[in-house]
Amino acid sequence: MAISGSSRQSEKVHPCVLTIFGVTGDLAQRLLLPSIYNLVCAGSLPDEFRLVGVGRRDWNDRTLRNFLTDSLKQFLGGRPQPRATRWLAERTVYHKTTFDDVAGFTALAQKIQQLGGRRKGPVNRLYYLAVAPEFIEQIVQKLEQSGQATEGEDAWTRVIVEKPFGHDVASATALNQQLLKTLKEDQIYRIDHFAGKDAVQDLAVFRFSNALFEPLWHRSLIDCVQITASETVGVEGRAEFYEHSGALRDMVPNHLMELMSHIAMEPPVSFSVGHMREKQLELLDSVRRIRPREVSRHAVRGQYTAGKVGRKAVPAYRREDGVNRRSQTETYVALKLEIDNWRWSGVPFFLRTGKSLAKSVTEIAVQFRPAPARLFPNVASATAPVNQIIFEMKPKQGIRLTFGARAPGLENQVFPSDMAFEFPPGPFGGNAKGYERPLRDAMLGNPLLFPSAAFIEEGWRLIQPLLDAWAPRKGRDIPKYAAGSQGPREAETLLAHTGHKWRELE
């Protein structure tokens, strides 16, 4: 279905039934339902598409449809189109069951078969597990017991698994092994919504489609790389989850490793799934392991105290509802990583992420070495322009190149300048949620944007020494930083040893 004012996608997905477990939750309300609506407006979904919401609440079809309409009004970012909303609502039904009820899953299988089309043949099925991690294995087992995990010759079955994928190396490996007892690897789609952003997908395109830039991607010209994913918000009612996760588990082995692999991997033979995954995993394999005794020299953590983010007063993390008053959970983490390969040897990669910071920013800054000669001695080294290519993903998506230019006047004065490119709105205008492309690709059977089991496990291996070193211990308090600041002072020291400074969260 194409709605006026929206550009069509090149390929429409196959007729299928999308089933969302946890449809009444925050993820579905804020992101998944608006993303599905955006796919409707882009003309990507066929008339035979059906949406089944599974939950434990005592709802019916009308309740879910009203929930869908309210979610679009509240979280879409623009006014929903009545025609598109009605089209989706008419194809949406609710199914109530607990996640341990085999009878409930058997009834779900029968409902999906009935919804799957006018013919009696096999039905294409996509299951989205938007649930807490402890329910993933249970749901997959019940899908198998009710006959929903098996693929037929003429229909496919796929399962999208939300992060976190475990909480350490052992649990991530165990989860993957458990899933593979029931599903084949090509049926499992481990989602990382960061990969759905246009700016993230463009990283490899920018590098490998432009002869102008790829020759610069080398240790002889690049001084350092900074990857930042900062947020102004705190835990926002997710304290129960965050207390068991923290910034390190929540962001580093998945989102930040994904960004680092794209910016630093070697050129693939093609953009096929196999070649891209091979080079991303190869990059993580090249990251130098942090030894337990070296953790303090390569990583810093912190926890926010009371402060102001903009004009809003923010309580200390330990004063948030649901947080232990002696909590040692980190809300900020910064790392210095080194890559032992021919391209990057000697170039530090600095990663940081945190909550309640001065600004919400997601970016990669590639900083080049300074010019070898001081031709303009009247320019102080501290104020000399720094050459950088900055890949911006939040709050806007674009690419910026910074360089020095001559200031107008009678003297040779150099001032910093830049050239900027901003991604156009695309088919979803300003309403894109980042889940549109992954959802569509899962329906099309294209796993390119979904990390492999090996990639996820390798990401956990890289941070396992930090998890072990930072395990709660008596007598050691976590470093602090004021809400609304740049982060803990210790993070600046981490860079100072190498003569670098963090980019300001302006």
Q: In this predicted model, what pLDDT tens digit does every residue of 426-437 receive, in sequence order?
A: 777 778 888 999
pLDDT for the residue 384 = 61
Paired strand residues for 422: 398
Please identify every residue annotated as catalytic: 255
Give buried/exposed letters for 318-335 (b at 16+ CB in 10 A, else e).
Answer: bebeebeeebbbbbbbbb
Count the Cβ atoms, other than its own, within 10 Å of residue 177: 10
Residue 65 · residue 73 · CB < 8 Å: no
pLDDT for the residue 473 = 67
pLDDT for the residue 8 = 42
Whose CA is closest to 299, among 475, 486, 495, 459? Answer: 495
Give buried/exposed letters for 431-459 (b at 16+ CB in 10 A, else e).
Answer: bbbbbbbbbbbbbeeebebbbbbbbbbbb
Paired strand residues for 266: none
Q: What residues in the chain have per-residue pLDDT under 50?
A: 1-9
Kindly state which CATH superfamily the domain 195-496 is placed in.
Dihydrodipicolinate Reductase; domain 2 (3.30.360.10)
pLDDT for the residue 7 = 40
pLDDT for the residue 102 = 94
Whose CA is closest to 350, among 367, 330, 335? Answer: 335
Count the Cβ atoms, other than its own, within 10 Å of residue 472: 11
pLDDT for the residue 380 = 54
Where do the domains of the chain lie? 17-162, 195-496
Whose CA is closest to 463, among 300, 249, 286? Answer: 249
Residue 48 · residue 15 · CB < 8 Å: yes
Which fold would CATH assign to domain 17-162? Rossmann fold (3.40.50)
pLDDT for the residue 374 = 65
Count the Cβ atoms, other than its own, within 10 Å of residue 238: 15
* Cis bond upstream, residue 395 (ω within 30): yes
- What is the rounded distance in angstroms from the CA atom of residue 9 to the CA atom of residue 376? 52
pLDDT for the residue 459 = 96
Amino acid in position 85:
T
Task: Please indicate, yes or no, whether the overall pTM of this predicted structure exceeds 0.95.
Answer: no
pLDDT for the residue 193 = 81
pLDDT for the residue 333 = 98
pLDDT for the residue 356 = 97
Q: Would you give the DSSP letter of residue 241?
A: H
Q: Report in angstroms the alpha-carbon separations of 229 from 138, 164, 167, 182, 297.
A: 32, 17, 20, 35, 21
